[in-house]
């Protein structure tokens, strides 16, 4: 950054002409300060992320508890027995195949069935 270099040179000139200066100056002082600022900002954001994660876990836990409690309280059990009045419908035919019944006894008949 040329602008920064010019500013630094002017600052050095000002201090030297007034005879008010330390014996030395670290060349990378500005860089060092700016790196510290950047790293502290990064830490600040990462702390923010951790907080956000904890907050989202907490919200999720509270919501889950609320939903579970809500379900338990609102279930109304029936006091009477439930009777099914509709006629029984037999969908399954209870008749077995004659071939299946004789399966074990006669191998020949089984083959014939197939």
Binding site for other proteins (CB under 8 A): 1, 3-4, 7-30, 32-34, 36-38, 40-41
Task: For the CB of residue 52, give the shortest distance to other proteins in the complex, in Å.
Answer: 21
- What is the rounded distance in angstroms from the CA atom of residue 37 to the CA atom of residue 89? 80
- Residue 48 CB, nearest approach to other proteins (Å): 15
Closest CA to 58 of 46, 47, 66, 69: 66
Nearest CB to other proteins, comparing residues 48 and 53: 48
Given phi > 0 = left and psi -120 to 50 = alpha, else beta, which region is 8? alpha
First vs last C-alpha separation in the chain? 93
- Residue with smaller CB distance to other proteins, 16 or 67: 16
Q: Which is nearer to other proteins, 38 or 103 (CB)?
A: 38
How far, in Å, CA of 6 to CA of 8, rounded? 5
Shortest reach from residue 63's CB to other proteins, in Å: 36
């Amino acid at each position: 950054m040329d602008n920064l270099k010019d500013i630094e040179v002017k600052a050095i000139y000002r201090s030297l002409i007034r005879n008010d200066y330390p014996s030395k100056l670290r060349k990378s002082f500005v860089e060092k300060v700016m790196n510290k600022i950047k790293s502290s900002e990064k830490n600040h954001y990462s702390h923010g992320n951790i907080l956000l994660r904890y907050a989202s876990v907490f919200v999720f836990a509270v919501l889950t508890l609320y939903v579970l409690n809500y379900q338990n309280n609102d279930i109304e059990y029936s006091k009477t027995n439930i009777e099914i009045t509709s006629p029984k419908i037999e969908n399954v035919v209870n008749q077995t195949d004659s071939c299946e019944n004789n399966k074990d006894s006669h191998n020949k008949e089984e083959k014939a069935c197939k």
